Structures are given as C-alpha cells and as structure tokens.
Amino acid sequence: MNRHWRQLVILPMLIFLLVLPIQAFAAKKLIPMGEAIGIQLQLSHVFVAHDVLLASNQWMKGGAVIEKINDVPVKSLADAKQAVAKDGQQKWTINSGGQQITLELQDQEAEHVISFLKDETDGVGTLTYIDPETKNYGALGHQIVDSTLQEAPVFKAGSIFLASIQQIRKSTPGQPGYKISSIEKHQERLGSIDKNTIYGIFGRWEEGYQQRLPKAIEIMHEKDIKAGKAEIYTAIEGSKVESFTIEITKVENERLEFLVSDKKLIEKTGGILQGMSGSPIIQDGRFVGAVTHMFVEEPKKGAALTVAEMLRRSS
C-alpha cells in the first residue's frame, strides 16, 4: 500500500513540472507596422547648423554651441530669438571645438544668424513594431546621427509622429533615393523617444494612431530564418502600408541580406530608399527583422537586423 501511495503522489508532481516550462517559454509576439514616421529630437543645447561668416570676418563654425547672449544663458532656440529681439550690439558667448569665444554682433546680423541655429534634429524613418504586452515600440533598426554634429546627439526629449509620403526620388546605382514626406504633427504624437541606439530608436507607444493596429505575430529567431522568399511592409504613397516581395539571400547571426524582387516596388523606388529603415520583414507568417541599409551601387540589395536582436537590445 505504501508503494502505491508514493506513486500517486509523484505522478502529479511530474505533470506540474512539465507544464511550467511550456508556459514560461511561450512564443513572443509583436505587431509588425511599416508606417512612415517623422522623428523629432529636442537637443541638449542650441547649435550652429552651418558655418556662418560674420561682418567681422570671423567664422561661426557649424556645431558650435550657443551658450549665452548678453550674459543670459541660452537653453533653447526660443531663448535665442527672445534675446536678439532687443536692439543694439549684442555679445554672444559660444563654445566651438571646446574653446569659449565671445563675438560682437549687430542686431540685424544677429537676426540673420538666428536662421542658422537649431535645437532639434528631425528625420523620417519607418516604424518597425509595437509590443502589445509592454506598449513599447521599436523603429529604424539603426541610430539617428545628427548631420551637423556627425554623431548621435545628446537629447532632452523625443517624439515620433505619423508621416505621409508625398513623392519618391528613385534610387539608382551610386545614388540613393529617398522619400519626400510631410509630418502630420496636427495629430497626436505616436510615442516618446527614450533611446537612440545602434539597433534603432525605442520608446513608449502612446496610442495616438487613429487606425486599427494589425494582428501581433510570432517573431522568428535567427536559427529559423532561411534563404528564400519573404516580404517587407513599408509605405511608398501617403500613409498606406503595403507588402512587397523580397528574396533573403544571406543569414549571418543577427544580420541578413536580401534582394528586392517586387516589380511594383522596383518601378516606384528603384529598390531600397532612405526612409525605409525599420520596414518590417516577414517570412512564412512570422516576424523576421527590420530593413537597416541599402547597397549604394546595388539599390535592389538591402541589409537587415533580426527583430529578435532588436528586441533584445531595446531594454
């Protein structure tokens, strides 16, 4: 009797242990997007966007930081505009290449210089995914680099907005094309930008999107991705997301390469464009990755990052 009793106790324990790991390793699902988004980063300082030659024959170099105007600290472009609204000669304190410089500007000259200042970085890319569990998003698949600073900028805050594609400049061998977009800032922002990393931008989805979200699908891990047919989701006209066929040609750890095979996409864009970064890649109904780069001399050829790696790097 004792032996039979022990068997009855042990069996339920074995069933319990077998069930737990199955629940713990449930497949991760993400919502694939593809919408064009406008990106806005509020910079930590006010910068000179381009080299400016002053009346004194001194140069105000691009990338210089405007620290003070008439000894009043400048924290935003609005501060600078308010300071130059006053008549008369003005004293500007700037930091250029780590060196503090004082410049004397007349009021009309100062108003001219204002048009060469900036306190934000703007751009256009593609929204990759939304995590339905955490309400976080990922986009681009690569880092935002400020054109003036030639590096990833330090920023105070950031936002993403829905963008609408107005025109396409086609890619040709040696000449990357691009999307000409308008940012729909009259709508609520879609989310915050909390991180700007080499794996993309990441932040909190704020549900300002006014359309129904697609269904979440299972992500595909690197070991399961194979060479062959797949799709990319992206917008090439207005804000409509479309599916286009590609052929995955190479898979290497968390990176992959592909060729655009869709005739409509080739006719419209020439292949991969600037602004497509972040476009989701789907294979066999599962979420593979995000477009990150194009090959300049072969615009039909692109590179991508796996969404599994993108997700790992988001935290």
**Is pLDDT above 70 for 5?**
no
Tokens of 74: 């400048």
Q: How far apart are CA 88 and CA 105, in angstroms?
A: 9
Cα distance between residue 290 and residue 277, in whole Å: 7
DSSP-assigned letter for residue 26: P
pLDDT tens track for 253-269:
999 999 999 999 999 99
Q: Give the global pTM.
A: 0.86
Residues contacting 146, CB < 8 A, separation 6+: 43, 121, 152, 153
Q: pLDDT-derived band of residue 184, with 50, 70 and 90 as boundaries?
A: low
The answer to whether 28 touches 94, Cβ cutoff 8 Å, is: no
In this prediction, residue 186 has a pLDDT band, given cuts at 50, 70 and 90, of: low
Nearest to 31 by CA among 114, 106, 104, 131: 131
What mean pLDDT is reported for the chain? 88
Exposure of 264 in the CB half-sphere (CA atoms within 13 A): 9
Digit-coded pLDDT (tens) for 187-231: 678 999 999 999 999 999 997 787 889 999 999 999 999 999 999
Distance, in Å, from the CA atom of 186 to the CA atom of 178, rounded to the nearest integer, reads 24
Cα distance between residue 43 and residue 154, in whole Å: 6
Q: Which two tokens stand for residue 198?
A: 């080499």
Is residue 140 within 8 A of residue 129, CB to CB? The reply is no
Strands 273-274 and 177-183: parallel
Measured CA distances, 66 to 46, 74, 151 (Å)? 6, 7, 18
User: What residues pair up with 146 in beta bridges, in sequence order?
Assistant: 151
SS3 226: coil
Sign, Cα dihedral of 181, 185, 190, 194 = positive
The contacts of residue 27 (CB under 8 Å, 6+ apart) are: 218, 219
Task: Spell out the domains of the chain, with CATH numbers in brackets.
Answer: 27-40+118-312 (2.40.10.120), 49-114 (no CATH)
Q: What percent of the chain has pLDDT over 90?
A: 74
Q: What is the DSSP letter of 313?
A: T
